[in-house]
Amino acid sequence: MDKGPSSDAELMARVGRNDMAALGLLAERHRDRVLSLAYRLLGDWHRAEDVAQETFLRVRQAARGYEPQAKFTTWLYRIVHNLSMDQHRRAARAPLPLEVVQETEMEDSSRHDLAEKAELAQLVQRAIGQLPDRQRRVVILHRYEGLSHGEISEIAGWSRSAVESLLVRAYENLRENLAQHEDFSG
Residues at the site binding other proteins, with contacts judged by CB under 8 A: 18, 20, 23-24, 27-28, 31-32, 34-36, 39-40, 45, 48-49, 52-53, 56-57, 59-60, 100, 102, 117, 120-121, 123-125, 128, 139, 142-144, 146, 148-149, 164, 167-168, 171-172, 174-175, 178, 181, 183-184
Q: Which is nearer to other proteins, 13 or 100 (CB)?
A: 100
Q: How far is the CB of 80 from other proteins (least distance, A)?
A: 12
Residue with smaller CB distance to other proteins, 68 or 97: 97
| Nearest distance, CB of residue 2 and other proteins, angstroms | 18
CB < 8 Å & 24+ apart, contacts of 31-40: 33/73, 33/145, 34/76, 34/77, 34/80, 36/144, 37/77, 37/80, 37/81, 37/84, 37/140, 37/141, 37/144, 37/145, 38/80, 38/83, 38/84, 40/128, 40/140, 40/144
Cβ 90 to other proteins, closest distance in Å?
A: 20
Nearer to other proteins, 56 or 158 (CB): 56
| Nearest to other proteins of 10, 45 (CB atom) | 45
Q: Which is nearer to other proteins, 94 or 144 (CB)?
A: 144
CB of 97 to other proteins, least distance (A): 11
Rounded Cα–Cα distance for residues 68 and 57 (Å): 18
**In whole angstroms, how close is the CB of 172 to other proteins at the nearest point?**
8
Q: Where are the alpha helices (DSSP H) in the chain?
A: 8-16, 20-42, 45-62, 72-90, 103-108, 111-129, 133-139, 149-156, 160-178, 182-185
Minimum CB separation from other proteins for residue 160, in Å?
10
* CB closer to other proteins, 9 vs 57: 57
**Angle, nearest 10°, between helix axes 160-178 and 111-129?**
130
Q: Which residues contact 121 (CB under 8 A, 6 or more apart)?
A: 98, 100, 101
